[in-house]
Amino acid sequence: MIYFNCDYNEGAHEKIMERLMQTNMEQTEGYGCDAYCRQAGKLILEKCRTKDAAVHFLVGGTQTNATVIAAALRTHQGVLAAQTAHINAHETGAVEAGGHKVLVLPSGNGKLTAEQVEEYYQAHISDDSFEHIVQPKMVYISQPTELGTLYTLAELTALSSVCRKNGLYLFVDGARLGYGLTAADNDVTLPDLAGLSDVFYIGGTKVGALFGEAVVITHPALREDFRYVIKQHGGMLAKGRLLGIQFLTLFENDLYLEISRYANELAEQIREALSKKHVPLLVENRTNQIFPILPDEILARLGEKYCYTYQQRIDAGHSAVRFCTSWATKKSAVDELCGDLLEML
Amino acid sequence: MIYFNCDYNEGAHEKIMERLMQTNMEQTEGYGCDAYCRQAGKLILEKCRTKDAAVHFLVGGTQTNATVIAAALRTHQGVLAAQTAHINAHETGAVEAGGHKVLVLPSGNGKLTAEQVEEYYQAHISDDSFEHIVQPKMVYISQPTELGTLYTLAELTALSSVCRKNGLYLFVDGARLGYGLTAADNDVTLPDLAGLSDVFYIGGTKVGALFGEAVVITHPALREDFRYVIKQHGGMLAKGRLLGIQFLTLFENDLYLEISRYANELAEQIREALSKKHVPLLVENRTNQIFPILPDEILARLGEKYCYTYQQRIDAGHSAVRFCTSWATKKSAVDELCGDLLEML
Amino acid sequence: MIYFNCDYNEGAHEKIMERLMQTNMEQTEGYGCDAYCRQAGKLILEKCRTKDAAVHFLVGGTQTNATVIAAALRTHQGVLAAQTAHINAHETGAVEAGGHKVLVLPSGNGKLTAEQVEEYYQAHISDDSFEHIVQPKMVYISQPTELGTLYTLAELTALSSVCRKNGLYLFVDGARLGYGLTAADNDVTLPDLAGLSDVFYIGGTKVGALFGEAVVITHPALREDFRYVIKQHGGMLAKGRLLGIQFLTLFENDLYLEISRYANELAEQIREALSKKHVPLLVENRTNQIFPILPDEILARLGEKYCYTYQQRIDAGHSAVRFCTSWATKKSAVDELCGDLLEML
Amino acid sequence: MIYFNCDYNEGAHEKIMERLMQTNMEQTEGYGCDAYCRQAGKLILEKCRTKDAAVHFLVGGTQTNATVIAAALRTHQGVLAAQTAHINAHETGAVEAGGHKVLVLPSGNGKLTAEQVEEYYQAHISDDSFEHIVQPKMVYISQPTELGTLYTLAELTALSSVCRKNGLYLFVDGARLGYGLTAADNDVTLPDLAGLSDVFYIGGTKVGALFGEAVVITHPALREDFRYVIKQHGGMLAKGRLLGIQFLTLFENDLYLEISRYANELAEQIREALSKKHVPLLVENRTNQIFPILPDEILARLGEKYCYTYQQRIDAGHSAVRFCTSWATKKSAVDELCGDLLEML
């Protein structure tokens, strides 16, 4: 079975594994207070071209989302997010378990618009019963989104403006950020993210690391006491240096971008094969997730050899599914998949 | 100014006030352990024609909803509710503050259908990632709904069946229950509610009492330790007998139904006036809330004399608003309103 | 049976009942936005000799404590309190249900000292693992305490200084404040409380009202959005004017102080009777709660006629119990109790 | 600097690192649904000599404690623990953030007794105000405790009996379990733990793994839906196989016990050196943590070369500190420390 169902089927990039082996018996401080974490944080801030920010390393995405949101919001405040947002759909209510409502906005492509946010905010403050309604205080977006789509710099700038005007925090979930930064149609950089958001994170789990998310906090209010909140949310890894070492390796020589670009290229190859056969996509994107709409009988045949994710039923005979590439996907596997697609379709 | 904006503009029914005066200097146990609460609970169970249930008295609706839901759900479980549900829209995230997600289903008329619940439940348990999604465990409905509509006995029976088949608790918010029980088109009785739901409450605040909601719990699992949860949620009134006295008065000689019927009749009078002038309604119902769609200039003129609730914009020149009657509404006020409506329209 | 077990066995002072009757059919805005609440709030601020504060009315003590603490603290912060504090011992974990740890300090007489708070704070910030420990951010005290004792002005001033020096909020639970303000040995006034604390409340439930607590917030950060938090915690009474009317009545002509003084005088009479018979007290105080240590056989005999609260076992043959007087206690009942005590002992 | 301050200064045992390297590019299911996790779980159950239990792998201790407790308790329930318990003292209120109070019992040596639990439980259920107090529902203990002490089989059996009699869950935190199982004076086995507790975990982070805790759940009520709760608490590692691989390696050929025994032997060597110089210990134990009470000037000199943890001040000139050994401690480092101790003292 060849796995295309997600981007975390393998371990870590070989350079990370080597570095973990080399440093294995070193003695360091625990809980992220070691030199590797400091170096990795410094390097990430350099890539973001800012000094006025804090970097923290957490283990996973759900944990990171719950921690950032809990650190930011007072009890009566909620976070605006798209219907498809990971915090709304796939974290078993971790945000609500922390006491906060996810204020859901409709979205067909996984993205929110500045207009939606502005409209929601204005409706809230002009409602006679506004105190009976959760106060919107944060906007959560993903880059790329759960549907693989990307905010353009213009869209992100507009969202940022609306947020700042209205006193809302802008939080960007970058669990797959590498695949966004290196997409063919991307125009958003790390310095853009650092400048336009209040907090964002750079995903490691899905982009070459064994695990790990690097949170970059630019807003001063969110930086205060953040480590307490990490600890409370179970995100303070005892051997924190494991995170520092991995992110240091990923950001030295831009390995992070290099391996992300590789995955995107393989995704493009699959999209080209699909395109040749005029297979429609559930959503257009240029990152590492591909959402073809295929006949059910083709899917059944593909399923004997390839593992993919079922997305949704389209009609009686067709379904949308997801294929993912990653830093670890073998070129040969993609060639084989493309060959089979061209043959079967 | 004449208030039609809600059903809690006045104090309590005169019989309640008299009873509170008469009993004022009696000494009783606190926290709902007094004889009045026991008597009131007993009387309510008689009206529900069951002995196998517990009755508890709380102060207000938001508190009651938060308490019942907190008592019922484990940390990973959520409650299904209509988009318009009070717990979703007007309780400042009290359910989420207790750690639980409100799982929102679309609804045009304030009601959920058995089919919606079944479909959501089946989708959940058949999802490969079901453990990454909040587990549906309770269904919350209001009778009447926030839009004044009513579940028929057939609809309620179908919902109850789906819930029992799938191990979901059915919770009925009866903040305005009196106005439902006595509506012209109602076929649901207290024994029906006790038999078909797992927990429901009989609203006092909006139906003749100074405050108070009587929770009837039939499901054994929800009865266990319920008073701890009331106390934790700030709902255990020190002078609990105030609640017992009020509900005892409301349920002796069916005062509760009598005053509810009165309010419904006044509402019907308003609906007739609107009907004569072919004023469309946002939603059809026969309870104490009326949702006419009126021209903005008429609304402006009405607003000089009458207080109503703004509901939503319909088009450039029309809005839907809400007029409420209650046990306390004066017949003369309704006559005056109807006269003005007939004249202005 | 004559009840001395607590100070909430009866209804409300007759002037309150009269006012509720008189105003019963008036139509007002809901949720505390009515003229009575505004007037009552204004009057309370006058008594506190400040304009720079907000007043909010809630229904009960547990609810008020949970609401204030939830409004004040971030997720990783906790509240320092005495072992005997109501929030620690008798609110079914309402503070923890809101996500915050009660940081318990030992206390023999129900009071905290400035030194204890300073020591705890210093220990926290100098601990290498401080981020692994809940951050102290608020100090909760009761005036009078749960043991009927009072902070002197000097003690309160010292606590306030330590709190301000270290950025801790000082929160005073005044559920029985009337009995403190009028105690023979009291030197703390409402203006003192307003000046020295960041938030405090004036209890109505135990001092003449049917229910109700008036929260006075002086710290600007705690004022922001406070009504959202009230609503979320189920404390926003629909017919909010009931609270305004009651507090207006209590604070006009200083009824609140008058009826509190009356209760204290009755308590002094009981203490004198006990003193004549050399009955030791668990704790010395001059407010409305009396904690005699009595032989178990005497307690058994008293228990046939009087209801008191069992406090704790002292030795094989003696127990400490609590007798309370209140605004509603009859002089004749106290005379009878004193007569019986003098005779039995 | 030689680190004796904790037992998580290094990476993982070389056999684990090798296995991670070997399996690095294998493709597996995510979230702990892979064959390694299944095998590791099966092996652990064999070691526990039971089939009737579930095994789950989480990343860290705070996360595991929060997850187990959240899965077990209803909103009004709390967990009994020693003053020194990790959940009380060093997890930034993670249990309270989940809504539950830690009910603290005094303890000099880190252990609770069956008598303490029984007494607390009886006091709760016989209190007139029991519903105003958090309901005790779980007992949390650590084996070894935070002070390195061990429950004997008799003590554990007594605790288990009290818990079962009273319907309390018994939860054993085994973050350092290996060091307990192999201590010179231990008589508690894995099958004992599985038989006597309702849920316990086997710590990997401090015993040879990069990270990871293996939770063994024997009580059926705690098993239900446990993976939802893991996910909600951010403990469901995407590349879950990392946990399975590590625990499989640790439990094949009893590596876990072998490396734990090694650490204990080094600790015994340090204790012998201290004993020769009649250095008193804060608490007696035979596991990998040593708590000598030493003169401050000696500690200052030791601190130039060795890193240890400051525990508490004993008197003006002496402090208790903690030295830890681990699976990774070098024999030469211990020899050097012992030499220096013998020379300095």
Evaluated on CA atoms B97, B100, B101, B102, the torsion sign reads negative
Residue C73 distance to chain A (closest CA, Å): 8
Let me know the angle formed at the C-alpha of A239 by A64 and C101, rounded to the nearest 5 degrees.
Answer: 55
- Number of Cβ atoms within 10 Å of the Cβ of D75: 27
Q: Residue D259 corresponds to which tokens in the numbers above?
A: 């490396």
CA distances from A9 to A1, A173, B265, D243 (A): 12, 21, 66, 14
Return the SS3 of D81. Answer: strand
Question: Is the backbone peptide bond immediately before D144 cis, with ω within 30 degrees of 0?
Answer: yes
The pLDDT assigned to C240 comes to: 98
Q: What is the CA radius of gyration of chain A?
A: 20
- Number of Cβ atoms within 10 Å of the Cβ of C19: 18
Q: Which of C3, C96, C311 to mutate to test the interface with D (most CBs of D within 10 A)?
A: C96
Instruction: Say how far apart CA B105 and CA B99 lie, in whole Å.
Output: 19
H or E segment and range at residue C201? strand C199-203
CB burial of B300-310 (b: ≥16 within 10 Å; e: otherwise) equals eebeeebbbbe
Three-state DSSP string of chain B: CEECCCCCCCCCCHHHHHHHHHCCCCCCCCCCCCHHHHHHHHHHHHHCCCCCCEEEEECCHHHHHHHHHHHHCCCCEEEEEECCCHHHHCCCCHHHHCCCCEEEECCCCCCCCHHHHHHHHHHHHHCCCHHHCCEEEEEEEECCCCCCCCCCHHHHHHHHHHHHHHCCEEEEECCCHHHHHCCCCCCCCHHHHHHHCCEEEEECCCCCCCCCEEEEECCHHHHCCHHHHHHHCCCCCCCCHHHHHHHHHHHHHHHHHHHHHHHHHHHHHHHHHHHHCCCCECCCCCCCEECEEEEHHHHHHHHCCEECEEEEEEECCEEEEEEECCCCCCHHHHHHHHHHHHHHC
Let me know the angle formed at the C-alpha of D212 by D210 and D217, rounded to the nearest 5 degrees.
Answer: 160
Contacts of C227 in chain A (CB under 8 A): 131
Q: Could you read off the pLDDT of C198-215 as tens digits, one per residue?
A: 999 999 999 999 999 999
H or E segment and range at residue C214? strand C213-217
Instruction: Say how far apart CA A201 and CA A193 lie, in whole Å.
Output: 9
Q: Residue A179: phi, psi to the nearest 5? A: -70, -20
Contacts of B71 in chain D (CB under 8 A): 74-75
Instruction: Say how far apart CA B80 and CA B169 lie, in whole Å.
Output: 10
Q: Could you read off the pLDDT of B284-338 as tens digits, one per residue?
A: 999 999 999 999 999 999 999 999 999 999 999 999 999 999 999 999 999 999 9
Contacts of A98 in chain D (CB under 8 A): 97
Q: Could you read off the pLDDT of C230-285 as tens digits, one per residue?
A: 999 999 999 999 999 999 999 999 999 999 999 999 999 999 999 999 999 999 99
Question: Crossing angle, helix A331-344 and helix A255-276, to 10 degrees?
Answer: 10
- Of the candidates C146, C175, C148, C142, which has an alpha carbon nearest to the alpha carbon of residue C60? C175
Asked whether D101 and C87 are in contact (CB, 8 A), the reply is no
Q: Residue D59 corresponds to which tokens in the numbers above?
A: 């990343």
Q: Could you read off the pLDDT of D121-164 as tens digits, one per residue?
A: 999 999 999 999 999 999 999 999 999 999 999 999 999 999 99
Q: Residue C264 corresponds to which tokens in the numbers above?
A: 């204290």
Q: Could you read off the pLDDT of D203-247 as tens digits, one per residue?
A: 999 999 999 999 999 999 999 999 999 999 999 999 999 999 999
Q: Residue C243 corresponds to which tokens in the numbers above?
A: 């609270």
Instruction: Say how far apart CA C161 and CA C144 lie, in whole Å.
Output: 20
Question: Crossing angle, helix B241-251 and helix B255-276, to 10 degrees?
Answer: 70
Asked whether A310 and A244 are in contact (CB, 8 A), the reply is no
CB pair distance less than 8 Å for D8 and A17: no
Residue of B nearest to C8 (CA): B239
CB burial of D52-74 (b: ≥16 within 10 Å; e: otherwise) equals ebbbbbbbbbbbbbbbbbbbbbb
H or E segment and range at residue C293? strand C293-295
Q: Could you read off the pLDDT of B71-129 as tens digits, one per residue?
A: 999 999 999 999 999 999 999 999 999 999 999 999 999 999 999 999 999 999 999 99
Instruction: Say how far apart CA D33 and CA D342 lie, in whole Å.
Output: 52
Asked whether A84 and A256 are in contact (CB, 8 A), the reply is no
Let me know if C304 is exposed, middle or buried by CB neighbors in 10 A (0-12, 13-18, 19+). exposed
| Helix and strand counts by DSSP (H, E) for chain A | 15, 13
Torsion of CA B61, B64, B68, B70, to 10 degrees: 100
* Residues of chain D with a CB closer than 8 angstroms to some CB in chain C: 75-76, 78, 89-93, 96-102, 104, 128-129, 131-135, 309-310
- Of the candidates C34, C36, C18, which has an alpha carbon nearest to the alpha carbon of residue C244? C36
The pLDDT assigned to D112 comes to: 98
Average pLDDT score over residue span D249-267: 98
Spell out the alpha helix ranges (H) of chain A.
14-22, 35-47, 61-72, 86-89, 94-97, 114-126, 153-166, 177-181, 190-196, 220-223, 226-232, 241-251, 255-276, 296-303, 331-344
CB pair distance less than 8 Å for A234 and D237: no
Whole-structure pTM over 0.95, yes or no?
A: yes
Q: Scanning the structure block, which residue is given the tokens 């609107």?
A: B274
Asked whether A175 and A209 are in contact (CB, 8 A), the reply is no
Contacts of D99 in chain B (CB under 8 A): 98-99
The pLDDT assigned to D146 comes to: 98
Q: What is the CA radius of gyration of chain B?
A: 20
Residue B238 distance to chain C (closest CA, Å): 7
Return the SS3 of A226. Answer: helix
- Number of Cβ atoms within 10 Å of the Cβ of A316: 6
The pLDDT assigned to C143 comes to: 98
The pLDDT assigned to D318 comes to: 98
Average pLDDT score over residue span B179-196: 98
CB pair distance less than 8 Å for D28 and A9: yes
Q: Which of A56, A74, A125, A233 to mutate to test the interface with C (most CBs of C within 10 A)?
A: A74
CB burial of B57-87 (b: ≥16 within 10 Å; e: otherwise) equals bbbbbbbbbbbbbbbbbbbbbbbbbbbbbbb
Instruction: Say how far apart CA B234 and CA C236 lie, in whole Å.
Output: 12
Q: Residue A122 corresponds to which tokens in the numbers above?
A: 């204005």
The pLDDT > 70 percentage for chain B reads 100
Q: Scanning the structure block, which residue is given the tokens 């547990």?
A: C62
CA distances from B67 to B56, B170, C74, C317 (A): 11, 15, 23, 42
Q: Residue A130 corresponds to which tokens in the numbers above?
A: 């506004």
- Of the candidates D126, D67, D63, which has an alpha carbon nearest to the alpha carbon of residue D91? D63
pLDDT mean across residues, chain D: 98
pLDDT mean across residues, chain B: 98
Q: Residue A129: phi, psi to the nearest 5? A: -100, 30
Query: Which chains neighbour B (Cβ–Cβ under 8 Å, 3 or more pairs)?
Result: A, C, D
Contacts of C23 in chain B (CB under 8 A): 11
Average pLDDT score over residue span D52-62: 98
CB pair distance less than 8 Å for B134 and A310: no
Instruction: Extract the residue ranges of chain A whose pLDDT is less than 70.
Output: none
Contacts of C75 in chain D (CB under 8 A): 97
Instruction: Say how far apart CA A142 and CA A151 lie, in whole Å.
Output: 9
The pLDDT assigned to D239 comes to: 98
Strands C135-142 and C77-82: parallel
